Structures are given as structure tokens and as C-alpha cells.
Amino acid sequence: FLHPHICIFLSIAPRICVLGPPASGKTTVAMWLCKHLNAVRISQETLLFRETLPLTKEAKAYKERKQKIPNALWANLIQERLSNVDCIKRGWILEGFPENQEQAWMLQSSGIIPMHVVVLYAPDTVLIERNSGKRLDPVTQEVFHTTFDWPRDPRVQQRLVKPEDTSEQEISKKLLEYHRSFPGVFQNYKKILKSINADQPCMDVVSQVLSYVQTRHRSAAPFTPRILFCGPPGSGKRLQAALIAQKYGIVNICCGQLLKEAVAEKTKLGELVKTYFDDDRPVPDNLVVKIVAERLNTLDCVTNGWVLCDFPRDLEQGEQLQRAGIIPN
């Protein structure tokens, strides 16, 4: 058996929605989550101003005409962005979506199903007061706050402006719309939803959110399998790995075969391996890890999942694989 340190906690790319009324701190929480989990943050601002997706131009045109962007367009934009490799590999934090039940249904029908939904809440009076401290960076479209999230860069500080929608009347209107729409969203996600009081110190909120999203739900929902087969010589690892791969449509990776393929394809790493093969010497661990990691990070493995056998064979190899970001679940 492998050393227990190799049998680490299930590591699945996060899929998290951070929801809440205006001025509840969604952006701050989403940014902290991204920092801690190395996930990709997706928000209205990132989709409209930082992406060059085919649908971005169409969505921005609605915004410029001061018209509401249709739910179907938002859902398609989000689906397009989340299908990119960075979101598949690192996971995503969806900030402020879905806003209503129709959006939630559309995301679900597109196969976008979060693992955790965080809902921030606070009294309307607190939110209205907070909203008055919002400031916008006209260059990056990032939102800051005079009290909770003031930028360190003096140049950014100087160019911040007060957003047009910070009037008490405007925020009251948005809060009313949120309170009307949210019960429908709650119904969709109630089994995976956690409400957290945003009327407390920022780091306390972040701590509670982190604690929740690092828990696992019992779920029958599909996930990308990353399977490691271990066992002594002759125990049938290769056969079982091949059967699992065939049954579930995942990629079967046999370390020994992978090294031979690298040599046959005359890749740069393959040429290095060949020198060891020719001299009948064992291939160094760091070289094997590079070849294995390179293969497991290709799109078919990331999308469909993989089963790996013949490696690692000891604790040191297992730790090297883990450091390379290859973590079985």
C-alpha cells in the first residue's frame, strides 16, 4: 500500500455561485475565494469588459443602449466562458448569477450545476448605507469601496468615480427587484445553498464562506474521475484500469506505455528517456513525472477524466506527482 499521505482529500475543481443583494459584498467574497482556491472569477463585469467571447459584443450593445440583457444571452455567455480550459481545470466562482429562476433553469439546462451556492444577506438599511461608499474604476470596471475595499495604488485611487446607480432611490429599486426574484433561485438550489450574514467584519464573512465551500455534499451528480490504480506485480492493475476506462469512457494511462510512446514519437522528453532505455537504466522520477503530468493535462484527460497505473510506486514519486498538480480523487 502507498503511504497514507498520498491518499489525500478529494480534490475537485470548485463550482461555486456567490449570490446576494446589491452591496452585500459579493465581489469581495468572490475575489477572496478565487485567491484561496485558484479558481476563475466570472461576473457581469468580467464577461462584458474583460472577455472577447463571440457574444460579448452583442451583450455590450444592450448595455450601451441601457437595455436589460436577456436571460438567454447571459446564460449563453456564461456557458461559453465556463467551457474554456481554465474553468474546466481550475474551477469557477460565478458572482451574481443566476439573478432569477429563469436564469437558474437556463444554466442547469446547459449543464452548469454549482457544487456550492453562497447567499449573502444583510438588512436593507445596511445595504443602502454601504452602497453609498461604492466607487468604480472607469478603466478596468472594477468596483471598490471607501470602507471595505480601498485600492492601494494611488493612481487607481485618483481615477475612481462614484457609479451612476448609487442613489438611494436606485438601490431601493434594485433591492425590491432582488427580493422579488430571489425566492425562485432559492427553490432551485436549496439543497446546496448556505445563507451567510454579510453584516459583520469582512474576514469573518470570508472565513465562514471558505469553511462552507470546502465541505462536500453527498451527490449523484457527475464529476471528472481521476483514478489511481495501485497494487503489487501480477495483481491485475492494468486489466482493471483498461476495463474501467472502457466502461466509463475515460482515458487509460499506463506509465510504462507512456514512456515508450514518448520515445517512439521522438518528443524532446522522449529523446531524454531513450538514452536511459538504451543504457538499460531506470528513468529518473522527475523526468517520468514531467511526461505523466504533460499527458494528464491534455484536454481529453481534463474533460473526460483518467485512470493511471504503474505510477507512483513509492512515497517520493507520489509527492512529486502531487507537487505537479496531479491529484487523484
Same domain for 28 and 117? yes
23 with 79, same domain?
yes
| Residue 40, phi then psi, degrees to nearest 5 | -95, 125
Q: Is residue 91 located within the same domain as residue 146?
A: yes
Q: How far apart are the first and last CA of the chain?
A: 17
What are 39-91's pLDDT values in tens digits? 999 998 888 887 777 888 888 888 888 888 898 888 888 988 888 888 888 89
Whether 329 is in a domain gets the answer no
**Would residue 10 count as lying in a domain?**
no
Measured distance CA(130)–CA(244) in Å, rounded = 54
Q: How confident is the model at residue 1 (pLDDT cuts 50, 70, 90)?
A: very low
Tens digit of each residue's pLDDT (9 = 90 or more) over 251-271:
999 888 888 888 888 888 888
User: Given pLDDT bands bounded at 50, 70 and 90, which one contains residue 3?
Assistant: very low
Helix or strand (DSSP H, E) at 261: helix 255-264
Does a structural domain hold residue 7? no
Q: 321 and 312 in contact (C-beta within 8 Å)?
A: yes
**Residues 81, 42 contacting (CB under 8 angstroms):** yes
Domain C-terminal end among 191, 214, 237: 214
Report DSSP state, residue 310. Answer: S
Query: Could you tell me the pLDDT band of residue 203, with boundaries at 50, 70 and 90?
Result: confident
Domain annotation covers residue 6: no
The reported pLDDT for the residue numbered 6 is: 37
Number of domains in the chain: 2
Choosing from 167, 184, 214, the residue where a domain stops is 214
Whether residue 117 has pLDDT greater than 90: yes
Does residue 8 fall inside a structural domain? Answer: no
Looking at the structure, tell me whether residues 29 and 87 fall in a common domain: yes
pLDDT band at 165 (very low <50, low <70, confident <90, very high): low
Looking at the fold, whether 274 and 166 belong to one and the same domain comes out as no
Q: Are residues 86 and 29 in the same domain?
A: yes
CB 90 within 8 A of CB 38: yes
Range of the domain at 272: 226-324
- What pLDDT does residue 56 have? 85
Residues 194 and 122 in one domain: yes
pTM of the shown model = 0.60
Domain check: are 176 and 320 in the same one?
no
Among residues 214, 242, 265, the one where a domain terminates is 214
Q: Mean pLDDT throughout 219-239? A: 81
Residues 296, 168 within the same domain: no
Q: Which CATH number is 293's domain given?
A: 3.40.50.300
Burial 7-31 (b: 16+ CB within 10 A, else e): eeeeeebbbbbbbbbbbbbbbbbbb
Give me the pLDDT at residue 4, please: 39
Tell me: do 269 and 305 sit in the same domain: yes
Q: Residue 118's pLDDT is what? A: 95
| Closest CA relative to residue 16, chosen from 101, 103, 82, 109 | 82
Using alpha carbons, select from 217, 215, 192 the residue that is nearest to residue 19. 192
